[in-house]
């Protein structure tokens, strides 16, 4: 279809990647997903944070069950981005029990000890074989954040960062990016402009970067200029680029990424129902329409799972009583464009980038 003939609402729908419903009943899951596809959704995130109830039992993934599920999705809509949080390690790894990709820090230590990447390259290639066999074409990895000195801070937990040394992160992340992208998997570096200096988890709290990042000499710039990364995920963090608005919602951050770092790939939000944005809106965005409109102004892809609320014990719980939130979010962005709050040109630019990368992956684009 000629881009000029594509309805505005369908262009906006292409900007959404929605997490698969956190259910175990395959029929119910597909009924919900079919409603998303009917609206023109751009993609799906398989599971949430490396966990997928339908294909897992006691944390163990049934790879055949997952593969069958993904192939049914492709039959339903062959144009979909099918994404995972595939960092490796323990927390963000759908394939933890199937193939060994250890926490990033372990590979960083090996590299800093003997200057060899041989073991890392071997494990990454084996991991990618499983990703491809499972039918995945987008990965929210690698982590480009550099941990705090002496390997401290939030990104040191579970060994998610390769190192507290920028050169190590650049070297190992470049291997990860190269191997994924030559195998038709979109690599997504995260979390711009950096979670490295944070002490607290953005899934729950909104914090300011402790120090100003040297972004021109960062692993992010290296991934863009040297490794040719296709995707960059913006993080829920206040930064020196914008100390009032989280990076995920900030035009300042997006402009820096596009103009200063000359990034022309897909800009992707971190998951938009994380606690950091709940904290930012202070209860004034209960239907999540404010955040989705702000995010649509400055990202190509809007990553959403399920709304959350804080219980009496302080823990966040997913609200899955209904599965109509995507329709509401789509309508909110559409209405904002019609009202002139979001320029149509911005939607067109995001749509064109999305279609460009879908064609690069040889996906069937209607």
Q: Is residue 78 part of a domain?
A: yes
Q: Above 60 in pLDDT, residue 70? A: yes
pLDDT band at 65 (very low <50, low <70, confident <90, very high): confident
The pLDDT of residue 358? 98
Which residues form the domain of 195? Answer: 3-360
Q: How many domains does the chain have?
A: 1
pTM of this structure: 0.93
Q: Is residue 161 part of a domain?
A: yes
Average pLDDT over residues 216-237: 97
Q: Above 90 in pLDDT, residue 354? A: yes
CATH number at residue 42: 3.20.20.300
The pLDDT of residue 59? 65
Sorted by sequence, the CB contacts under 8 Å of residue 150 that are 6+ apart come out as 164
Q: Facing residues of 18 across strands? A: 44, 304
Residue 274 is inside which H or E element, if any?
Answer: none
C-alpha to C-alpha distance for 80 and 75, rounded to whole angstroms: 10
Q: Are 22 and 325 in contact (CB under 8 A)?
A: no
Q: Is residue 366 part of a domain?
A: no
The pLDDT of residue 108? 98
Q: Share the mean pLDDT of the chain.
A: 90
The pLDDT of residue 181? 98
pLDDT tens per residue across span 137-193: 999 999 999 999 999 999 999 899 999 999 999 999 999 999 999 999 999 999 999
Whose CA is closest to 47, among 21, 75, 73, 29?
Answer: 21
Q: Is residue 28 part of a domain?
A: yes
Q: Is residue 172 part of a domain?
A: yes
Q: Above 70 in pLDDT, residue 319? A: no
Whose CA is closest to 333, among 302, 364, 362, 358?
Answer: 302
Q: Is residue 365 part of a domain?
A: no
Q: Are 206 and 280 in contact (CB under 8 A)?
A: yes
Name residue, tokens 């070297």. Answer: 171
Q: Above 90 in pLDDT, residue 49? A: no
How many other C-beta atoms can be found within 10 angstroms of the C-beta atom of residue 317? 12
Question: Which segments of 242-288 does DSSP mark as H helices, in order?
Answer: 251-255, 275-281
């Amino acid at each position: 279809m000629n881009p000029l003939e594509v309805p505005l609402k369908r262009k906006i729908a292409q900007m959404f990647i929605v997490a698969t419903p956190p259910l175990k009943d395959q029929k119910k899951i597909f009924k919900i997903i079919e409603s998303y596809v009917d609206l023109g959704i751009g993609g799906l995130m398989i599971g949430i944070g490396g966990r997928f109830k339908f294909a897992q039992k006691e944390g163990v993934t049934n790879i055949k069950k997952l593969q069958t599920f993904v192939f049914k999705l492709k039959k339903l809509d062959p144009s979909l981005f099918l994404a995972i949080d595939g960092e490796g390690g323990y927390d963000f790894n759908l394939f933890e029990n199937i193939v060994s990709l250890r926490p990033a820090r372990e590979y960083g230590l090996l590299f800093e000890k003997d200057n060899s990447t041989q073991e890392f390259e071997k494990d990454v290639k084996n991991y990618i074989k499983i990703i491809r066999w499972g039918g995945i074409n987008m990965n929210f990895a690698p982590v480009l954040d550099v941990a705090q000195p002496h390997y401290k801070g939030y990104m040191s937990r579970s060994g998610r960062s390769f190192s507290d040394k920028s050169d190590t992160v650049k070297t190992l992340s470049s291997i990860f990016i190269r191997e994924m992208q030559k195998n038709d998997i979109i690599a997504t570096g995260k979390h711009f402009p950096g979670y490295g200096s944070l002490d607290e988890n953005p899934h729950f709290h909104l914090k300011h970067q402790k120090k100003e990042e040297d972004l021109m000499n960062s692993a992010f710039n290296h991934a863009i200029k040297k490794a040719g990364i296709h995707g960059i995920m913006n993080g829920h963090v206040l930064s020196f680029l914008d100390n009032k608005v989280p990076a995920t919602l900030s035009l300042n951050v997006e402009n820096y990424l596009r103009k200063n770092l000359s990034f022309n790939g897909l800009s992707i939000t971190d998951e938009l129902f994380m606690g950091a944005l709940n904290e930012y809106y202070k209860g004034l965005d209960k239907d999540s329409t404010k955040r989705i409109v702000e995010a649509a102004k400055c990202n190509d892809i809007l990553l959403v799972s399920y709304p959350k609320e804080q219980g009496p014990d302080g823990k966040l719980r997913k609200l899955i009583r209904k599965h109509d939130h995507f329709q509401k979010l789509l309508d909110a962005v559409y209405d904002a464009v019609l009202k002139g709050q979001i320029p149509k040109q911005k939607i067109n630019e995001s749509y064109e980038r999305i279609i460009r990368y879908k064609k690069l992956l040889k996906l069937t684009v209607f």
